Structure 1
Amino acid sequence: MASSFPSAALRKAVRVLARTMLALLLFMGFGSPALAAAWTTEQLTVPATPDGTLVTFSEQEIKAGRKVFNSSCGECHAGGITKTNQNVGLDPETLALATPSRDSVEALVDYMKNPTSYDGEYSIADVHPSMRSSDIFVKMRDLDDDDLRLMAGYILVSPKVQGIQWGGGKIYF
């Protein structure tokens, strides 16, 4: 009988190594206490309103925002990208150039309630999940204003946290 390549033993070793590396990555970076301890108040402070008023989120709020974001928006916006339009991400520069600007908590919450095209010319509520279209997009039905605020905080804080390449890289917390 001919031997298979790669061998069963080699495939098993690769699986064990992959699991070990994943566990190490999870321990070292994803949600590690060391990274959380490195967060500063400055990193957790973002614009609350378009006029520049600031708000500081707690680590717990950012983690809660990440959880809501991942379950509601993460399918299309994992890592701050936009799968349906690679030219428009969730990075601060792109959000600031939208019309109206979407680089504050208030502006992002407004978008999650009534999304518009990047140039602000027309509503996209029929194709983008929002509170306005929760009858179509069921993931939005159970969200309230606080959930939207937490998601906005997570979106805006993510690129400021060390190790984040929001809009094209991996998230490490």
Structure 2
Amino acid sequence: MRFKKNILLLLVMLFLNFNLLILPTYSIELDETTRTVQLDGSGKISILTPEQVKRGKRLFNKSCAICHNGGITKTNPNVGLDIETLSLATPPRDNILSLIDYMKSPTSYDGAILIAELHPSIKSADIFPIMRNLTDDDLFAIAAHILIQPKVVGEKWGGGKIYY
């Protein structure tokens, strides 16, 4: 009898730990300032809805995080997804529309070489099937996720081996 109680207690503890550690947790909603990002290079802004933020995170994790987990670039640790690095690219990639442009037709950091055959993009969806079904709204949400992460996780986003 005591053995059955211990097994039952163990199963209950495992179930609770699974729910706490494995299943997705829902954090508090981000404030409007955190959800505000640059729309384009002219200074226009976009305030994301909580749904766009959640969708962007989900899509980024599904489509991009294999190479860009934590905002790093596994294939080139010198180029992260932090705002400073994105702003120094040619053309600057520190706003929604420029990131969407990159996800449609990626170029090297200096902007000189088209790298669609090396980097997943809409243009190379035949090589990278994960990109096939992404809409412009999906790309918007992914770009927004990239731009709000420095506000959410701070210097860890794009911080490289120091943090990840």
Aligned residues: 148
2:20 aligns with one of 23, 37, 51: 23
1:52 aligns with one of 43, 53, 56: 43
2:111 aligns with one of 111, 120, 126: 120
1:32 is displaced (CA, Å) by 3.8
1:22 is displaced (CA, Å) by 9.6
1:166 aligns with one of 149, 157, 160: 157
Tell me the TM-score normalized by structure 1. 0.77
Structure-2 residue corresponding to 1:11: none
- Equivalent positions of 1:1-150 (< 5 A) are 20=17, 23=20, 31-33=25-27, 36-37=28-29, 39-150=30-141
Aligned-residue identity in percent? 48
**Runs of 4+ in structure 1 over 6 Å off:** none
Q: Deviations over 1:24-67 (max 9, x none)?
A: 6x79xx7444xx24x21111000001111000101211110111
CA contact (8 A) 1:158 1:164 kept: no
1:104 is displaced (CA, Å) by 0.3
- 5+ residue gaps in structure 1? 1-15
Tell me the TM-score normalized by structure 2. 0.81
Aligned-residue RMSD, C-alpha: 2.4
Structure 1 residues 40 and 83: alpha-carbon distance in aligned structure 2, compared to 1, 3 A threshold: same
- Answering whether residue 143 of structure 2 is matched by residue 152 of structure 1, we say yes
Q: Deviations over 1:137-168 (max 9, x none)?
A: 00000111010000000000111125672113
Structure 1 residues 94 and 31: alpha-carbon distance in aligned structure 2, compared to 1, 3 A threshold: farther
